[in-house]
Structure 1
Amino acid sequence: MDYDRIEVADGSVIIKSIRNFELAHIFECGQCFRWNKISENKFIGVACEKVLEVEKNDEDVILHNCTEQDFYSIWEKYFDLKREYGNIKEELSKDPLLKKSVDFGYGIRLLQQQPFEIILSFIISANNRIPMIKRTIEKICDNWGNPIEYNGKVYHTFPKLEVLSKVTEEELESCGMGFRAKYVKDTVDKIFKAQSGEDDFQSYKIDSIVQLNDDGCHDALQKFNGIGPKVADCIMLFSMGKYSAFPVDVWVKRAMMHFYVAPDVSLIKIRNFGREKFGKLSGFAQQYLFYYARENNIKI
């Protein structure tokens, strides 16, 4: 466990003596799109149908708008606080090349996010820039999510499957997702039909996909239009607990070529190399590599 204890204050929970937890490392390492920076030591986001303000104060983290029940039922799992990241970093740092990335992104944690939201979010992310992705997702939430008020401002949850099933492709496109709208609409329709019990669509049922082994999960996700190997790896890693996933985007490709492999290696070969090299910790290694490469603007 990566913290000592919690203290409950008025409307907040203080996580005492937390380890391996840096806000920018967690919220700016490419795994989430609904968290925004307020200041150097504070972020606010909407997740798990809640608004949460997270503040780092020396060795403590304060979760504002949080009860003790919320902490134990939602946020302890969401922030993966029962996992000791010191052990992961120690193991990965045995590789002297990777150690540089681990030391740089020492406060990264892999968030345990909701699969339906992450499936749609990463379809939207394909060949897209983070500011555009965040804007599109925010519009979807503003249009079809449930309102939540916090500190005089209205936020919106990520929409429910049942609500999005009634939204047209044209309405989705108006949120700024362009050609991805048809993929999002098709994915929502398939998941909704699977959830409704239609026999021909049971292979698209999220709960069943999560239960598959890592390779089976990777294959099943790619049956959805708009999900290729990289997006499937992201969904597996950020919402399904599949830590052998190794998403390869431009930054991970640059990092892997910079540290390990020869130029002009295909993405699939880099993915296979990464999974073979880092094994069950591949997903953690990928996050350290991604954050290091992007923040340092690594060139090939």
Structure 2
Amino acid sequence: MDFKEVLEEQGKVILKEVKNFELPHIFDCGQCFRWHRQKNDNYIGVAFGRVIEVEKQGSDVVLYNTNLEEFNSIWCDYFDLKRNYSDIKEKFSEDPLLKKAVDFGYGIRLLQQEPFEILLSFITSANNRIPMIKRAIENISKTYGDEIQYNGKVYYTFPRPEALKGATMEEIEALGVGFRAKYIIEAIKNVAEDTRNLEEIKSLSDDECHEGLKGFNGVGPKVSDCIMLFSMQKYSAFPVDVWVKRAMQFFYLAPDVSLPKIRAFGRNKFGDISGFAQQYLFYYARENNIKID
């Protein structure tokens, strides 16, 4: 585990001596859309039907609005705290090029999020910017999710498939998802009517899972890899977007290598922990605004 002990106090859980846990690295590395940085540098997010606030205090992490029972049943896995990221980083640091990205994003952890939310989120992400994606996901939650309160403010859970089943194309379009509305409507129907079962897809092998997710209209190789990596614990996934493409060209490949070849190269090079490498590379490339001439 990447923490020494966990303590419970009134309305919060304290993780002592946490390793490899930096809030901006985790919440601003492109894997999630419902976490927001506060003026005090804490982050507040909505996940699994709950509002949670996270604060870093030296080497400790404080989780507000929760308790030990919820930590053990939800948040320990959600923050992937049973995994020793130091071992992953040590292995990656054998590669002097990847070590630069690892040292830069040293506090990244891969969240274990809910598949239905991530399916709709990354369908929405296609050819879209992160602020617009966040706004659209918030609109979906506010319109169809349940209201919850924390510290006098109102938040909204991400809706269940059944709550979205009756939505029309026009209603979904009005939430800011653009041309992706048709894909979202179809995905909602498939999941709600169980013609495509996300838990069954999750249980498949990595390659079968990748193909199974591509059965949803609007889900191509990159979106499929994102869903696998961020909600199905398929860590051989290697999503290739513009930033990962630039990082791979910057560190390893020629500028004219195609996206499928970059994905294949990454998976072959990094193996069953390719997804962790992808996140370090993505965060490094985007935060440093890497450009390829």
Per the normalisation by structure 1, the TM-score is 0.96
Q: Is the 8 A contact 1:41 1:57 kept in 2?
A: no
Q: Deviations over 1:70-125 (max 9, x none)?
A: 11111000000000000000011111100000000000000000000000000000
Confirm whether residue 247 of structure 1 aligns to residue 239 of structure 2: yes
Q: Is the CA contact 1:15–1:61 (under 8 Å) kept in the aligned structure 2?
A: yes
Deviations 1:229-287 (A, max 9, x none): 00000000000000000000000000000000001111000000000000011000000
Aligned partner of 2:65 in structure 1 is: 65
AA aligned opposite 1:38: Q
1:40: how far off? 5.8
Residue of 214, 224, 239 corresponding to 1:222: 214
Give the letter aligned to residue 286 of structure 1: Q
Gaps of 5+ in 1: 195-200
Q: Structure 2 stretches of 5 or more lacking a match?
A: none
The alignment-based identity, stated in percent, is 63
- Which residue is equivalent to 1:267? 259
Instruction: Report whether the alignment pairs 1:178 with 2:178.
Output: yes
CA separation in 2, counterparts of 1:26 and 1:73? Answer: 20
Count the aligned residue pairs.
292
User: Which residue type is aligned with residue 228 of structure 2?
Assistant: M
In 2, distance between residues paired with 1:263 and 1:291?
19
Distance 2:153 2:279 in 1: 32
Q: Secondary structure at the match of 2:193?
A: helix
One-letter code aligned to 2:256: D
Could you tell me how far apart the structure 2 residues matched to 1:184 and 1:294 are? 27
What secondary structure, in the 3-state scheme, does the structure 2 residue paired with 1:178 have?
helix
One-letter amino acid of the counterpart of residue 255, structure 1: A
Separation in 2 of the partners of 1:235 and 1:214?
A: 12
Partner in structure 2 of residue 197 of structure 1: none
Which residue identity does 1:282 align to in structure 2? S
Residue 53 of structure 1: aligned partner: 53
RMSD in angstroms over aligned alpha carbons?
0.7
Superposed displacement of residue 7, structure 1: 1.3
Q: Which amino acid counterpart does residue 174 of structure 2 have in structure 1?
A: S
Aligned partner (choices 271, 276, 284) of residue 284 of structure 1: 276
Q: Which residue of 2 aligns with 1:198?
A: none
Which whole-Å CA distance do the structure 2 matches of 1:49 and 1:266 have between them? Answer: 40
Contact in 2 for aligned 1:247/1:286 (Cα 8 Å)? yes
Matching of residues 1-80 of structure 1 within 5 Å: 1-39=1-39, 41-80=41-80
Task: Could you list the structure 1 runs, at least 4 aligned residues long, displaced by more than 4 angstroms after superposition.
Answer: none
* Matched letter for residue 259 of structure 1: F
Number of the residue aligned with 1:231: 223
